[in-house]
Amino acid sequence: MIWGDKKYVLPSLLPELAGKMDLIYIDPPFDTGADFSFQVQIEDEQFTKEPSIIEQKAYRDTWGRGLDSYLQWFSDAATTLHALLDEEGGNGPTPRAGGSPYLGRG
């Protein structure tokens, strides 16, 4: 697993890994417009706790710059990801709503 900005991380992988990867799994933002929270299950306890004003969301899946901008952003990443795959390799985004109908499956 690699954590970082795709703009810098993906090109840095090309010299060593181009054409050598069997599978690439990605979970990019999909512009679902939803906020996602982290919930913890506490065994044998039943209660509901509303988030306080200082609690933050785990992440927001919003793009905010329009579909064309989103698709260009994803296309740039997909081009580099494809260069990393070997001949039989595959990739694909996690299926979600939002922009994902435009992304296709690898």
Domain ranges of the chain: 6-34+54-102
Model confidence band, residue 8 (pLDDT cutoffs 50, 70, 90): very high
- pTM, rounded to two decimals: 0.60
Nearest to 94 by CA among 83, 102, 86, 105: 105
Whether the pLDDT of residue 76 is over 70: the answer is: yes
Please give the average per-residue pLDDT across 74-84, as a whole number: 89
**Count of alpha carbons within 13 Å of 87, Cβ hemisphere only?**
0
Distance CA 97, CA 100 (A): 6
Model pLDDT, residue 25: 81
